[in-house]
Amino acid sequence: MSNDTKTPATPAPESPAVDPRLLQREAGLQGYVNEFVRKVRGGELGSLPVIIGLIVIWAVFSLNDGKFFAPSTAEFVAYYMVGVGLLSIGLVFVLLLGEIDLSVGSVSGLAAAFFAVISVNDGLNPWLAVLLTLAGGALVGALQGWVFAKIGVPAFVVTLSGFLAWQGVMLWLLGSTGTINLPDTGLIHFLSGNSYFLGGDISGAYILAALAVASLAVGSFLEQGRRRKAGVPFRATGEIVLRSVLLAIGAFGVAYVLNQASGVPNAAVLFLALLIIADFVLRRTAYGRKIFAVGGNIEASRRAGISVSAIRISVYAISGAFAALGGLAIAAETGAAGQAGSDPNNLMMAIAAAVIGGTSLFGGRGRVWSALLGMLVISSIQSGLYMLGLNLDIQYMIMGVVLLAAVVVDSLSRRTQKSSGRG
Amino acid sequence: MTSAPVLALRGVSKRFGAVQALTDVELEVHAGEVVALVGDNGAGKSTLVKTIAGVHPIDEGEIEWEGTPVSIQRPQDAQQLGVATVYQDLALCDNLDVVGNLFLGRELKRRGTLDEVAMEQKARELLDTLSIRIPSVRIPIAGLSGGQRQVVAIARSLIGEPKVVILDEPTAALGVEQTAQVLDLVERLRERNLGVILISHNMADVRAVADTVAVLRLGRNNGSFPVQETTQETIIAAITGATENAVTRRQARTAEAAK
């Protein structure tokens, strides 16, 4: 290297000049199409593989069984995805840290048993019992997080022992009877299969759909206004309209189909509300930014003044609380807290849903919506196979293949991203 | 540069167990001055930088900030004074975009939520004034080249409005073009009237941007040279200790004997 290293760059152009290598979208529809093609080529697939997968799954099942595309199937999927889906939301938080929580299935079973004991056997106010159960779930999660963050035991081992231990506690709580029936009141009624938004009134589903579309459109336009005023790039009006129209088609379509059956299950409404809240926390708050940062680079987070242990403990507490709520939802499906409450399948399905939905197992990449997308895939397969009258053995085999396919797509797209400098 | 230095070390010593890492080290950094800190491996450059950054508190001596003695015990103390350090491992989050990394730990908020618009606006302003060109402020760090990451890391240190910036081997792993980018940025830091301490092994870089070269050898000062009037050989001699060898010692002895 010569002594005058700085000469090649001295004739620097005036500062705001646009770099020719800058990624810029051309104007108009063609620009969007080009950008989309570029992203797909570059491996930035986003939710595309899941959505294609869903369409393929639906097509295959409807070809095999004409009754698959029925409102009752949609109703079934919308209701039965909630319990495990709630576990999956908590898991997305943990996966974003690049860790794993194997205890969510057991914690959910324990929560249902705990709730049954204090509300049915001890006669506590059901709503107070719900609060205690959720707090208990958070406490259990925080305890595991503390052992992991402060003592330094690998999360895999901590939560694996939690998986065993909490199941034991649940069996001990349930005692010799093994099952405690839950009265159809309070939150259990709300989460049960015969509770619908606005009592199943036709307007209920449409109100929800209208709310969703309106909040997306209004939110986007407000953001566009602020960005325009601040002089930073903003979404074009056409794009916002297009997004809103797409959401409207989807939301009102689902609302129409569910109205053909009995309406929107309240459990699904709760699930959606929690998804929106979790998404907001992860993307719009400093706390969520810290979770992504810790998942991306622990040392960088520490130097930026983030308390890594506090983030880890709190994330495991969140996972525990979601597991407890999921446990209540699963118990409400059958109206009883039983030994099957901690079914390890629930754990596996919850992890599978998050991964199928596109959350990376390696931390730092993902969205809570993957819990919803993944559960849609899993529930669709489950209900489709059930309608075809296939046995559990086939179901598990197909599920395994789908999960593997999802991870393969993830790994391949990551490799493409690396080679095109976007990984 | 007649005013009091922003940062001055007076007779700083640091000992780790049996190892005397720094002995009576003096260093001055003025506003708008680039001081290159050079020395062989184990000369104490990193230790010196860490004492300033608050990682290792000093044992003896004094640190003066704008003329008044201060105590730097923790990294937070140094940050509050206005010392920003860019370590060799850049410590950026690959998965976050440039804006997210620039403001990590210092996010701007609006009604309790992240104010992405204000952060993006400020990030663009900062990068523009530094003439840093990257494809987009919304691109994840993973999509940037090594040199672009280095300039983002340096820009990140400026978010807290520091007065002294310490750069640890900023050009160590960079190609020619990227090195030039980083050196340009160092010059721009000087134009912004910041004091810069540049640790480097690369004499070409040092001669290109530094105003003063401070040489450390075996934990002691071994000369401080104005770059313009010093030849590379003199600096290298000071680094390697070539000025002090059997021949020079003999000369000194004969000179003393002659007296």
Between A15 and A343, residue with greater pLDDT = A343
Q: Is the pLDDT of residue A8 over 60?
A: no
> Which range (A246-255, A364-373, B168-177) has the least confidence?
B168-177
pLDDT digits (tens, 9 = 90+) for A42-78: 666 667 788 888 888 888 888 888 788 888 888 889 9
CA distance B190 to A369: 47
Q: Do B93 and A4 touch (CB under 8 A)?
A: no
Between B43 and A3, residue with greater pLDDT = B43
A-contacting residues in B 155-174 (Cβ below 8 Å): none
Q: Assess contact for A113 and A337: CB atoms under 8 A.
A: yes
Q: Is B17 in CB contact (< 8 Å) with chain A?
A: no
Residue A39 confidence (pLDDT): 73
Of A83, A78, A95, residue with least CA distance to A318: A95
Structure confidence at residue A17 as a pLDDT band (50, 70, 90): very low
Residue A15 confidence (pLDDT): 39
Q: Do A301 and B128 touch (CB under 8 A)?
A: no
Residue A108 confidence (pLDDT): 96
Residue A25 confidence (pLDDT): 57
Q: Is the pLDDT of residue A20 over 60?
A: no
Of B25, B176, B190, B162, residue with least CA distance to B86: B162
Q: Which contacts (CB < 8 Å, 24+ apart) does range A253-257 have?
A: A254/A74, A254/A78, A254/A205, A254/A209, A255/A205, A255/A206, A255/A208, A255/A209, A256/A205, A257/A71, A257/A74
Q: Do A293 and B177 touch (CB under 8 A)?
A: no
Of A184, A182, A179, A149, residue with least CA distance to A311: A149
Q: Region of A359 please: left (phi>0), alpha (psi -120 to 50) or beta.
A: beta
Query: What residues of chain A lie within 8 A of the CB of B94, using their CB?
Result: 296-297, 364
Place of tokens 């080009």: A34
Q: Is the pLDDT of residue B172 over 60?
A: yes
Residues contacting A158, CB < 8 A, separation 6+: A144, A147, A148
pLDDT digits (tens, 9 = 90+) for B91-139: 899 889 999 999 988 888 888 889 889 999 999 888 888 888 888 888 8
How much is the ipTM here?
A: 0.81
Query: What residues of chain A lie within 8 A of the CB of B143, using their CB?
Result: 421-423
* Residue A259, CB-side half-sphere exposure with 13 Å CA sphere: 16
Residues linked to residue B212 through DSSP beta bridges, in sequence order: B35, B226
pLDDT digits (tens, 9 = 90+) for A374-400: 999 989 888 888 888 887 888 788 888
Interface probe for A, chosen from B117, B186, B235 (most Cβ of A below 10 Å), is B117
Residue A280 confidence (pLDDT): 94
Q: What integer is the mean pLDDT of A273-290?
A: 95
Mean pLDDT, chain B, rounded, equals: 86
- Measure A278 CA to nearest chain B CA, in Å: 13
pLDDT digits (tens, 9 = 90+) for A124-174: 898 999 999 999 999 999 999 999 999 999 999 999 999 999 999 999 999
- How many percent of chain B have pLDDT more than 70? 98
Structure confidence at residue A26 as a pLDDT band (50, 70, 90): low
Query: What residues of chain B lie within 8 A of the CB of A421, using their CB?
Result: 143
Residue B147 confidence (pLDDT): 83
pLDDT digits (tens, 9 = 90+) for A185-240: 888 888 888 888 888 788 889 999 999 999 999 999 998 998 888 888 888 888 88
Residue A134 confidence (pLDDT): 96
Q: Do A23 and B133 touch (CB under 8 A)?
A: no
Partner residue facing B131 (CB), from A8, A15, A303? A15
Three-state secondary-structure class, residue B26: strand
Q: Do B118 and A230 touch (CB under 8 A)?
A: yes
pLDDT digits (tens, 9 = 90+) for B213-256: 998 888 888 888 888 888 888 888 888 877 666 777 777 788 88
Q: Assess contact for A365 and A296: CB atoms under 8 A.
A: no
CB pairs under 8 A between A and B: 126
The enclosing H or E element of B11 equals strand B7-16
Q: How far is CA A331 from CA A341, A343, A379, in A?
A: 7, 12, 18
pLDDT digits (tens, 9 = 90+) for A231-270: 888 888 888 899 899 999 999 999 999 998 888 999 999 9
Q: Assess contact for A115 and A326: CB atoms under 8 A.
A: no
Q: What integer is the mean pLDDT of A275-301?
A: 93
Structure confidence at residue A84 as a pLDDT band (50, 70, 90): very high
Tokens (6 digits) for B151: 């300039």
Residue A275 confidence (pLDDT): 96
- Measure B253 CA to nearest chain A CA, in Å: 37
Residue A13 confidence (pLDDT): 39
